[in-house]
Amino acid sequence: MSQKETTSPQTQQSLKSEEAVTENPWQKLNAFTDARVGLGRAGVSVPTKHLLAFQLAHAQAIDAVHTQLDTKQLATTLTEQDWAPDCAPLILHSRATDRATYLQRPDYGRRLDYQSANILDEHTAMNQQPYDLVIAVVDGLSSLAIEQNTVSFLNALFTHLKKPESAENDTESNWSIAPICIVKQGRVAIGDDICQRLNAKCVLVLIGERPGLSSPDSLGLYLTWEGKTGLTDASRNCISNIRPAGLVYQEAARKAFYLLNEARTLKLSGVKLKDRSDDDLVLDKSTESHNFLTN
């Protein structure tokens, strides 16, 4: 047995007075970046406060992936909008039966299940006219992104699609729009299946993007002209990071409308359709972006 170790009152006092957490003098740099700089340290480890903040952000991202999209609620809300197409939204499902399958089998997430394919085929059989556009709202990897951004974004987009001056007599800018399709366990390419079955000229897929730690609610948008199964991403145009803290709705809608018109004019989408919607903007970031480490 070793001798019982005793601690002097002085040692006890010094253990107490020394700060366990060392703050970083450069902590204020976090005003210039979203990166987690200047966290300080307990020894060399992340202090409790920041550890728990990180865990919360990760928990929100995980929940965004695993929480099921409430399709009925979304359908109800979409039906209530004044721009809503005459036909109620169609609720569809991919061939991925559950989230675990969805995550491991992207091929299943790209195709509609049998029942959903039937719903679309029946709709097309009853409804002989072709559509200019079908909008597919797909859960993807974040149901949160769909729940928080879809209605607001579509509100902004439909102000372009249904401008009063472009009514009836102006067929050039009038868009005939298919019922909105709401899809569970879907990937981007499931829009191709939908576009083809509804006999639409193009498909706009709104999809929950892979959640980042500080962006669990990021909505992505993919435009595909004459979508049909087997196309790759080279045939699509993408607008990413649509959310209040990212690309705001009006801006995203302006870009989307630009791409839609360009696609209709050129009869294509993808690498040959260049997004020049920002060409008129003067981009000069030299004043705000500054390497303070050397000058």
Binding residues: 188, 209, 238
Handedness of CA 145, 146, 150, 151 (dihedral sign): negative
Comparing CB distances to another protein, the nearer of 41 and 254 is 41
Q: What interhelical angle do 114-126 and 190-197 show, nearest 10? A: 30
Q: Kindly state the smallest distance separating residue 63's Cβ from another protein, in Å.
A: 10
Contacts of 142 (CB under 8 A, 6+ apart): 64, 65, 208, 209, 210, 211, 216, 217, 218, 219
How far is CA 193 from each of CA 30, 113, 114, rounded to the nearest angstrom? 45, 10, 12
Chain centroid to Cα 140, Å, comes to: 8
Selected binder of another protein within 1, 35, 125, 126 (CB under 8 A): 35
Comparing CB distances to another protein, the nearer of 62 and 88 is 62
Selected binder of another protein within 12, 14, 214, 265 (CB under 8 A): 214
Question: If you search the block for the tokens 């569809």, which residue do you land on?
Answer: 92
Selected binder of another protein within 38, 123, 226, 229 (CB under 8 A): 38
Selected binder of another protein within 36, 123, 162, 254 (CB under 8 A): 36
Comparing CB distances to another protein, the nearer of 44 and 282 is 44
Find the part of the chain contacting another protein (CB under 8 A) among 39-47, 166-174, 250-258, 267-275. 39-47
C-alpha 190/C-alpha 108 separation (Å) is: 9
In this structure, the strands spanning 131-138 and 181-184 are parallel
Q: What is the dihedral of CA 180, 97, 72, 137, to 10 degrees?
A: -30
Q: What is the dihedral of CA 255, 257, 261, 264, to 10 degrees?
A: 110
**Residue 73 interacts with another protein (CB under 8 A)?**
no
Selected binder of another protein within 11, 22, 81, 97 (CB under 8 A): 22
Binding mask 142-181 for another protein (x = CB under 8 A): ----------------------------------------
Question: How many C-beta atoms lie closer than 10 Å to residue 12's C-beta?
Answer: 10
**Residue 106 interacts with another protein (CB under 8 A)?**
yes
Find the part of the chain contacting another protein (CB under 8 A) among 124-132, 156-164, 191-199, 285-293. 285-293
**Residue 141 interacts with another protein (CB under 8 A)?**
yes
Q: Kindly state the smallest distance separating residue 215's Cβ from another protein, in Å.
A: 7
**Residue 45 interacts with another protein (CB under 8 A)?**
yes
Question: Which of 32, 86, 246 shows the shortest CA–CA distance to 153?
Answer: 246
Length of the chain equals 295
Structure tokens at 218: 């990021």
Binding-site residue total for another protein (CB under 8 A)?
A: 52
Selected binder of another protein within 13, 15, 32, 76 (CB under 8 A): 32
Annotated binding site for adenosylcob(III)alamin: 188, 209, 238
Find the part of the chain contacting another protein (CB under 8 A) among 56-64, 145-153, 189-197, 258-266. 56-64
**Residue 129 interacts with another protein (CB under 8 A)?**
no
